């Protein structure tokens, strides 16, 4: 009987074509499976809580895998991190219940989108901040964000609404807009699940509200229209982090 393990992973997505294994492409999932195979002696499939796109980062991605034999979790975690490339780290490894599933047992997720609002991005943050030189109206962005909270049809905020097999209705529990320090703005979005590029679309919309190109009230109009238009841009990938995944 197999033993199931849950891992929490952080990664810098800059040099990866996203999470999911793809032919002839460098992905986070492939990197993790590569090192587990070295330790286990055979290929082990790693199951994720959800995909992240090319260039997107993670602080708290969650996945699981099964091994035939038990391992010392501290020693195995240390070995994984010794073999992984330095832009991927297993932050936590723990034994899980046999029926645990990183994706299907998830109760929600939190993403954070980071913006640098100033004339120049500090070099150490250039890979992790979207740069907006124009002054952003934080109050307007907060008003717009509040209108997106709740259960809505988010077809106007997905890059490809026709690919969503389970429909485009989602529940957003919370969106906060915080200026954490001079120049640095964080958008935190928490919900039960997200559509394709939904968080980046919300970020793109809130940025346009912040610059005055759109009004906060346009959130209601766009939700009601249920149609994706050029009014909602997809913000660049490098500002986005999968922050945490929630379980019972």
Residue ranges per domain, the chain? 3-95, 108-246
Q: What's the whole-model pTM score?
A: 0.95
**In this structure, what are the phi and psi dihedrals at residue 130, rounded to the nearest 5 degrees?**
-80, 135
What is the full per-residue pLDDT of the chain (248 aa) written as tens digits?
899 999 999 999 999 999 999 999 999 999 999 999 999 999 999 999 999 999 999 999 999 999 999 999 999 999 999 999 999 999 999 999 999 999 999 999 999 999 999 999 999 999 999 999 999 999 999 999 999 999 999 999 998 756 666 789 999 999 999 998 788 999 999 999 999 999 999 999 999 999 999 999 999 999 999 999 999 999 999 999 999 999 99
Active-site annotation holder among 12, 15, 53, 72: 53
Is 12 an active-site residue? Answer: no
| 3-class SS letters over 5-17 | EEEEEEECHHHCC
Q: Which residue has the tokens 């991190």?
A: 81
Number of helical H runs and strand E runs in the chain = 5, 10
What's the CATH fold of domain 3-95?
A: Alpha-Beta Plaits (3.30.70)
Matching CATH topology for 3-95 and 108-246? yes
3-state class percentages of the chain: helix first, strand second, coil last, to nearest 5: 30, 30, 40
Kind and range of the H or E run holding 55: none
State the pLDDT at residue 199.
Answer: 98
Q: What class, spelled out in words, does domain 108-246 have in CATH?
A: alpha beta
Strands (E), 1-100: 3-11, 47-48, 57-67, 88-95
Distance (Å, rounded) from C-alpha 109 to C-alpha 50? 9
Give the Cβ contact number of residue 43 at 10 Å.
9
CA 76 to CA 31: how far, in whole Å?
Answer: 16
């Amino acid at each position: 009987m197999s033993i199931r393990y849950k891992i929490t992973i952080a990664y810098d997505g800059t040099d990866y074509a996203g999470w999911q294994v793809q032919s002839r492409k460098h992905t986070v999932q492939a990197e993790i499976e590569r090192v587990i195979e070295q330790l286990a002696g055979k290929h082990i499939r790693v199951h994720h809580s959800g995909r992240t796109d090319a260039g997107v980062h993670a602080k708290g991605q969650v996945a699981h895998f099964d091994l035939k034999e038990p391992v010392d979790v501290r020693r195995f975690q240390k070995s994984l991190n010794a073999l992984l490339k330095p832009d991927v780290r297993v932050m936590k490894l723990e034994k899980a219940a046999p029926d645990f599933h990183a994706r299907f047992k998830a109760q929600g997720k939190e993403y954070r989108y980071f913006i640098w609002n100033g004339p120049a991005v500090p070099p150490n943050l250039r890979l992790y901040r979207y740069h907006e030189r124009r002054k952003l109206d934080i109050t307007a962005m907060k008003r717009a964000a509040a209108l997106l909270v709740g259960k809505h049809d988010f077809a106007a905020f997905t890059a490809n609404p026709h690919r969503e097999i389970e429909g485009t209705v989602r529940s957003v529990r919370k969106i906060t807009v915080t200026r954490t320090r001079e120049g640095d703005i964080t958008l935190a979005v928490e919900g039960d699940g997200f559509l394709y590029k939904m968080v980046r679309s919300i970020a793109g919309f809130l940025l346009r509200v912040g610059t005055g190109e759109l009004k906060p009230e346009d959130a209601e109009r766009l939700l009601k229209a249920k149609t994706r238009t050029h009014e909602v841009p997809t913000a660049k990938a490098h500002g986005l982090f999968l922050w945490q995944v929630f379980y019972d």
